[in-house]
Amino acid sequence: MSDPALDLLRRIFGHPAFRGEQAQIVEHVTGGGDALVLMPTGGGKSLCYQLPALLRDGCGLVVSPLIALMQDQVEALRQLGVRAAYLNSTLDAATAADVEHQLLAGELDLLYVAPERLLTGRFLSLLERARIGLFAIDEAHCVSQWGHDFRPEYRQLTVLHERWPDIPRIALTATADAPTRREIAERLALEDARQFVSSFDRPNLRYRVVHKDGAGVRQLLDFLAGHRGESGIVYAFSRKRVESVAEQLQAAGIKALPYHAGMDAQVRAGNQRRFLQEDGVVMVATIAFGMGIDKPDVRFVAHVDLPKSIEGYYQETGRAGRDGEPAELWLSYGLGDMVNLRTMIQQGEAGEERKRLELGKLDALLGYCESTQCRRQALLGWFGEPHPGACGNCDNCLEPPSSWDGTQAARKALSCVYRTGQRFGAGHVIDVLRGADTEKVRQWGHERVSTFAIGNDLDERQWRGVFRQLVAVGLLEADVEHHGALRLTAASGPVLRGERELRFRHEAPKPARGRKARGATTVQMIELDVDSQLRFDALRHWRATTAREQNVPAYVIFHDSTLRAIAEAAPDDLDELGRIPGIGASKLDRYGEAVLQHLFDSAP
């Protein structure tokens, strides 16, 4: 007997089989059960509610937090022949009224709506008159006040359960630690829902962390040299930093665009549109960019400044390699990042409980950065998922770091912070330790303190590594009252008294300017042979032209992985083309002849 869900998966979406727990989730929700789904980006979350919506009687209503996200998903569904629509502020009154008419007439399979619109009395009244098959709550972590994308409207979505208790609900997210997961279930009244927790591991992603040298832009350029012509995202701490980094990348000949909340809305939207529709664009952005990005062929995500938490880092890096192809994640951070973020948290207006939570999350991220263990093991451990380590696809596995006994260096550093009054940053304390003859040292009389010149055994770079790691392990902290000056914590006492030993990572040698650091090889996809590459290039050019004509992102036509499979298989007819994963019946009918023609034209 045929499986209706599998038949739809193959016929509409062009996938030969389900992945992971997709089949069980689809069966559970189609049968009327509630579900809470945690699945990594690129794991196929959308299918978990799209297929049940097609299999159940009525329209699937999808709560989505961002306009860009819902518009891209609707366009992708329409390309597949699915009757999908959205209601948001971009529609004029006549178009919105037409969508509402389609809903009431039973002419929609899926309708995407923002939580703000859903919660209006008018829209809830509209739903009373429509036939709804299921409710899907996407990006469900937005319900958590402790999360990184809190949306207060999500707290009110329990109204769906209260007014329509018999309609199944499915909440989905790619990022939630155990406390956030519990809060999602509680806030959305999904305590009795079946939970499906997939592995958070993304084997196709390579993790790399480097210690920042100065502003870190030169290191970023060295990293980007291995990703020429590829699409990627560079995250920076502030709006000013975004503008500066984007300008420097442009000056280096990189097609880089800025994106932050302070820009003109039209310019910002235009930059996002170019990133989605063009190949090889690098978006330099604050965290304001990304949650609504469904672009599958992002080949790298770089953080030129330290993020605020492991959850934020995981979600931001999760935007790379959604197509399952290799992608690279690069993070640079330094002592200044750590001090700035701690100061920002401590000076913020949040309550003390919130500040303690945010400082704890920052400490966990610092621990990840300084760890000598497998990055994947450390990252997944935060989400409660065990990993044996030795992943073979992170810097610590590819180039295992060495460590050294830093106990004496730590005692010198802590003593110097104390002797200079606990009112200076690392730069000045290092000058004192190394016996530097600077105006500031003379001004404060620090050439006379007992710790002056006791640290000549280490150079400035090595001392900065010591101070960075002392802050990371909680022996030093930034003093908000004195502009981020370093001061001792209670935990420093045992080290100063010789009761605790410390081991530090060796600082990697500074690479020669213009040359890539040791081990900074990029992740390479399996290379196509010459003829296949010609076909692939021809298909990408056709796809880009087609996407521009339709004013849609190129990936809603076909993913790179699908074009690559077509180029390798070189099908001769529609039957052969239709057997390639990613090509459903609608796309075969819509684009099949054009694809075959371009294969024929590109034949050697």
Q: Is the pLDDT of residue 79 over 60?
A: yes
Q: Is 603 exposed, middle or buried (0-12, 13-18, 19+ CB in 10 A)?
A: exposed
Helix (H, G, I), strand (E, B) or coil at 204: coil
Output the pLDDT for position 1.
Answer: 40
User: 3-state secondary structure string, 53-108?
Assistant: HHHCCCEEEEECCCHHHHHHHHHHHHHCCCCEEEECCCCCHHHHHHHHHHHHCCCC
In contact, 281 and 274? CB cutoff 8 Å:
yes
Q: Is the pLDDT of residue 283 over 90?
A: yes
Output the pLDDT for position 520.
Answer: 44
Diameter over CA atoms, the chain: 88
Task: Kindly report the average pLDDT of the chain as a whole number.
Answer: 89
CA–chain centroid gap for 389, Å, is 22
- Which pairs from 388-396 meet CB under 8 Å and 24+ separation? 391/203, 393/203, 393/205, 393/206, 393/207, 393/523, 394/206, 394/207, 394/208, 395/207, 395/208, 395/209, 395/519, 396/371, 396/372
Average pLDDT for 56-72 = 89
Pairing mode, if any, of strands 476-479 and 485-488?
A: antiparallel
In contact, 111 and 62? CB cutoff 8 Å:
yes
| Interval 344-354: pLDDT, tens | 888 888 888 88
Could you tell me the two tokens for 256? 């880089």
| Interval 546-559: pLDDT, tens | 998 998 888 889 98
User: What pLDDT band is residue 80 in, cutting at 50, 70 and 90?
Assistant: very high
Output the pLDDT for position 511.
Answer: 55
Tell me the domains of the chain and their CATH numbers: 4-197 (3.40.50.300), 205-398 (3.40.50.300), 403-505 (1.10.10.10), 530-601 (1.10.150.80)
Q: How far apart are CA 47 and CA 8, in angstroms?
A: 11
| Interval 157-195: pLDDT, tens | 999 999 999 999 999 988 777 778 888 899 899 999 999
Please report, rounded to a whole number, the percentage of residues in the chain having pLDDT higher than 70: 94
CA distances from 15 to 2, 9, 44, 355, 392 (A): 16, 6, 11, 46, 29
| Interval 208-267: pLDDT, tens | 999 998 889 999 999 999 999 999 999 998 999 999 999 999 999 999 999 998 999 899
Q: How far apart are CA 351 and CA 346, in angstroms?
A: 10
Strand arrangement of the beta sheet that strand 327-333 belongs to = 205-211, 327-333, 300-303, 232-235, 282-285, 256-259
| 68 vs 407, more confident | 407
User: 3-state secondary structure string, 441-496?
Assistant: HHHCCHHHCCCCCCCCCCCHHHHHHHHHHHHHCCCEEEEHHHCCEEEECHHHHHHH
User: What pLDDT band is residue 41 in, cutting at 50, 70 and 90?
Assistant: confident
User: What pLDDT band is residue 118 in, cutting at 50, 70 and 90?
Assistant: very high
Instruction: Enumerate residues 6+ apart whose C-beta is below 8 A from 448.
Output: none
| 587 vs 41, more confident | 587
User: What pLDDT band is residue 574 in, cutting at 50, 70 and 90?
Assistant: very high
458 closest CA partner among 520, 425, 416: 416
In contact, 270 and 258? CB cutoff 8 Å:
no
Q: Which helix (H) or strand (E) holds 233?
A: strand 232-235
Output the pLDDT for position 287.
Answer: 80
Q: How far apart are CA 21 and CA 26, in angstroms?
A: 9
In contact, 272 and 289? CB cutoff 8 Å:
yes
| Interval 271-280: pLDDT, tens | 988 898 888 9
Pairing mode, if any, of strands 35-38 and 194-197?
A: parallel
56 closest CA partner among 116, 109, 3, 7: 109
In contact, 153 and 160? CB cutoff 8 Å:
no
| Interval 484-523: pLDDT, tens | 688 999 999 999 999 999 988 887 666 554 444 444 445 5
Instruction: Enumerate residues 6+ apart whose C-beta is below 8 A from 442.
Output: none
Q: How far apart are CA 43 and CA 24, in angstroms?
A: 14
Integer Rg of the chain from CA: 27
